[in-house]
Structure 1
Amino acid sequence: MSEYQYYEFVAIDRPLTATEQNELRAVSTRGRISASSFVNDYQWGDLKADPRDWMQRYFDAHLYLANWGTRRIMLRLPASLLDPALAATYCVGDAASSFVSGEHVILDLHSEDEDGDEEWWEEEAALASIVPARAELAAGDNRLLYLAWLLCVQNQELDEDALEPPVPPGLAQLSGPLRSFAEFLRLDLDLLETAAQASASLAATKAPSAAALAKWVKRLPAAEKDEAIVRLLRGDGVHLRAELLRRYGGGATIESVDGGRTVGELLAGAETRWTARQQQTAKREAAEQARREAAAAAAREQRLDELAADPERAWQRVAELIATKKPKEYDAAVALLTDLKALGERDGQRKAFRGRIHQLCQEHARKPSLLDRLERAGLYVSTAS
């Protein structure tokens, strides 16, 4: 199997200049480049650039995947919206790390699966389904950071006695972008559900009402209102809403609760959930198997009752099928004989059936294909056996 790699970068907060696009073109002649993105895939070569460098210089989001099991997501946010210390609290390993570049914080998240047997993603839609989670993080929703920490737990990069960081609300109610994020990075569902047990419900979270916002805006100094409007008119208002909501103190989420569980407790809880799920699956499969067997037994009893009404007609049908000398008809004859055998056993006519089948085999002793089928069905034992 040939190699396959897919790279996608997106500029969100500002468009790329013509000069920057030319710089990207100098690196890749095949790349699909626009003022907002760079996309390319490779089957033999590789990108002749460092994605970390491109994230620092040009882009706000990056997705990478390879057919040997590597997946990667990088997100860049202004440090004014994502405290570097907060990012470092959650991004604590190789699977999830963070670093500061100028006025930005960059998250770098990895997933590896050397088995390579997972369901393949539709590359062109993957990053688009995840990118909105960046805006949620910018608005103060720390669930993405907690998911990043869980990646480190899942990769067993932390001591089992290490305590979890603050648990944000809504882990059991992930948004669509966060679900895509978790699925793309192969976050274990049992681990996530275990973690969500200590997460408050978003039902307790209320976005600020229009009346509350209006009252708060009226109290803002005129100079601050003027500054916000000027920023908006100058096109510098990409994160203005998130900044104002942070200042308001409402936002779309409630405060995180202090984490009190250890890594070992979370892993043990995930293992317990996995075991229980496997047991439930086994019970469902056993119940379904029993249902199928009962249905098959009922159907067979009905066939036997029909045969019992005129068994001689069934033996005549066997003879007609054999007379065709066709393999498919031989199979049908064997199936009918199997039911006749079961009928004989049910109605106490085993000896009579054995006599009839012995006579039939003698009559067709020169038909090895038929005799082989009868022997494999347990209806006949050859003298050579």
Structure 2
Amino acid sequence: MKPLLLGIDWATLQAAGDTLILDIARDEVELDEDWDDGSGWLAALAPFRADLLAGDLRLFYLLWLGAVESDGLGDDEIEPMGGFGPLTGALGTFAEFFGIDPDLVEAAADHHEAAPATSPDAARAVIAAMTDREKTDLLTRLFDGEPHISAELRALVRTRLGVHYAGLSSGTRTAGELRSRARAIRLARDRVKAEKAAADRRRQAEDTEKARIAWIEAVARRGEGAWQEVEAEIERRNAAGYDKAASLLFDLRTTAEIRGTLAEFGQRLHGIRERHARKERFIERLTTMGESRQSL
């Protein structure tokens, strides 16, 4: 398993008697605002020990991907396993916890070799062929409550059947190919995101335009009533009334433009300006609104 740790300075594997100790500490991972004290991750990461005992070494593939991401390995380095996916919940959580590039993980999971299935009959034959001493040892440890005895038994059965589950079979892709695939995944996602944002903007603009047209049509249907409302709002002699009158005049101008009656609109607007010329605040608002939208 040590070849899987080449180029990785944040994971070490050492022996302590019959036990292998894997120490993983990636101090450079940046914490975000949603970071917790780690208690929320423990349950999701717990299956790793059982998976390792059962012969699933894909955890080491993720560590290798970490070295690929940090440029600890050259582009010509061959992936250590012939297959990686499909991604399990525990593997996904590990990658997220240690900040491994999700696009690189997806690139690695794109291709995998299916693990040969172990039939119940084949497993039964292997277990039946075990010595009495082996069976007694396994049952005693099961009785004593060892939590991972079932995983160890499955690994033992697979070994005796010659089945290698996510083990060190030779891979075919290089680190450079995985980096390229990760970039392609990232670009594709960004393109989809940009297209969605553009579609949302177009839809919002269309909705805004539909609402504007509906309002203008409503103003047009009011006919003379709209002009009377303009006069009524002006006579309120306050800022709110002046603003509403100016806005309504802008809508009337748009309606006239659509109908081809701008000349008539201009005459009526000229009359309003003359009648209310002494209302300087209204004329000022009328001028300001005309400059910010179109000439009034």
More strand by share: 1
User: What one-letter code is carried by the residue in structure 2 that aligns with 1:224?
Assistant: E
User: What one-letter code is carried by the residue in structure 2 that aligns with 1:121?
Assistant: W
User: What one-letter code is carried by the residue in structure 1 that aligns with 2:92?
Assistant: R
Decide whether aligned partners of structure 1 residues 306 and 241 sit closer, same or farther in structure 2, where only a CA change above 3 A counts. same
- Relative to the length of structure 2, the TM-score reads 0.81
1:220 Cα offset (Å): 0.6
1:228 Cα offset (Å): 1.6
State the distance in 2 between where 1:370 and 1:334 align.
7
Query: Who is 1:340 aligned against?
Result: 252
Larger RCO (alpha carbons 8 Å, 6+ apart): 2
1:108 Cα offset (Å): 1.0
Decide which of 90, 93, 117 is 1:206's aligned counterpart.
Answer: 117
User: How many correspondences in the alignment?
Assistant: 287
State the distance in 2 between where 1:367 and 1:174 align.
68
More helix by share: 2
1:100 Cα offset (Å): 0.7
Decide whether aligned partners of structure 1 residues 107 and 136 sit closer, same or farther in structure 2, where only a CA change above 3 A counts. same
1:150 Cα offset (Å): 1.0
Query: Who is 1:165 aligned against?
Result: 80
1:267 Cα offset (Å): 1.0
SS at match of 1:105: strand
The answer to whether 1:93 aligns with 2:3 is no
Query: Who is 2:216 aligned against?
Result: 304
Q: Deviations over 1:165-200 (max 9, x none)?
A: 11434x2x3222222212222222221222122213
Q: How does 1:1-385 map to 2 (within 5 A)?
A: 86=1, 88-94=2-8, 96-102=10-16, 103-110=19-26, 112=28, 118=32, 120-123=34-37, 124-169=39-84, 171=85, 173-201=86-114, 205-206=116-117, 208-209=119-120, 211-235=121-145, 237-249=146-158, 253=165, 257-324=169-236, 332-360=244-272, 363=276, 364-367=279-282, 370-371=285-286, 374-375=289-290, 377-379=292-294
Contact 2:80/2:168 (CA < 8 Å) preserved in 1? no
User: What one-letter code is carried by the residue in structure 2 that aligns with 1:126?
Assistant: W
Query: Which structure 2 residue ranges, 5 or more long, are not aligned?
Result: none
1:98 Cα offset (Å): 1.5
SS at match of 1:112: coil
SS at match of 2:26: strand
Report % sequence identity: 30
Q: Deviations over 1:318-344 (max 9, x none)?
A: 344444456556554454333222212
SS at match of 2:83: coil
SS at match of 2:190: helix
State the distance in 2 between where 1:149 and 1:331 align.
66
Q: Deviations over 1:15-42 (max 9, x none)?
A: xxxxxxxxxxxxxxxxxxxxxxxxxxxx
1:225 Cα offset (Å): 0.9
Query: Which structure 1 residue ranges, 5 or more long, are not aligned?
Result: 1-85
Contact 1:90/1:149 (CA < 8 Å) preserved in 2? yes
Decide whether aligned partners of structure 1 residues 372 and 156 sit closer, same or farther in structure 2, where only a CA change above 3 A counts. farther
State the distance in 2 between where 1:141 and 1:330 align.
75
State the distance in 1 between where 2:243 and 2:70 align.
54
Contact 2:59/2:91 (CA < 8 Å) preserved in 1? yes
Query: Who is 1:17 aligned against?
Result: none
Task: Name which of structure 1's ranges 353-362 and 273-282 shifts more when overlaid on structure 2.
Answer: 353-362
State the distance in 2 between where 1:162 and 1:220 align.
41
SS at match of 1:129: helix
State the distance in 2 between where 1:95 and 1:157 align.
9
SS at match of 2:209: helix
1:358 Cα offset (Å): 4.9
SS at match of 1:106: strand
Structure with higher Rg: it is: 2
State the distance in 1 between where 2:10 and 2:42 align.
17
Decide whether aligned partners of structure 1 residues 255 and 113 sit closer, same or farther in structure 2, where only a CA change above 3 A counts. closer
State the distance in 2 between where 1:157 and 1:378 align.
58
User: What one-letter code is carried by the residue in structure 2 that aligns with 1:198?
Assistant: H
1:156 Cα offset (Å): 1.7
